[in-house]
Amino acid sequence: MLRQRTKSAVLVAGAGLGILLTGVTAAQQTSSTPGESVKPAAAPGPTNNVRPAIKWNRSDYTCEGGAKIAVYLHDTVAKVRTQDHMYMMRQAHSADGNRYSDGKILWWGKGDTGFLQEDTPDGDGKMLVKGCVLDKPAEAAKP
pLDDT(137) > 80? no
Per-residue pLDDT tens over the stretch 26-62: 445 444 455 556 666 676 777 778 888 889 999 999 9
Q: Is residue 6 part of a domain?
A: no
pLDDT (mean) for 102-111: 94
Distance CA 10, CA 24 (A): 21
- By residue range, what is the domain housing residue 118? 57-134
14 found inside a domain: no
CATH number of the domain at 94, please.
2.40.128.200
pLDDT band at 74 (very low <50, low <70, confident <90, very high): very high
Q: Does 38 reside within a domain?
A: no
User: Is 46 a member of any domain?
Assistant: no
Mention every residue, 6+ apart, whose C-beta is less than 8 A from residue 135: 60, 61, 62
In degrees and rounded to multiples of 5, residue 94 shows phi and psi of -150, 135
In a domain, 17, yes or no: no
Mean pLDDT of the chain: 78
Provide, rounded to the nearest whole percent, the portion of the chain with pLDDT above 90.
49
Per the structure, the count of domains in the chain is: 1
Residue 102 lies in a domain: yes
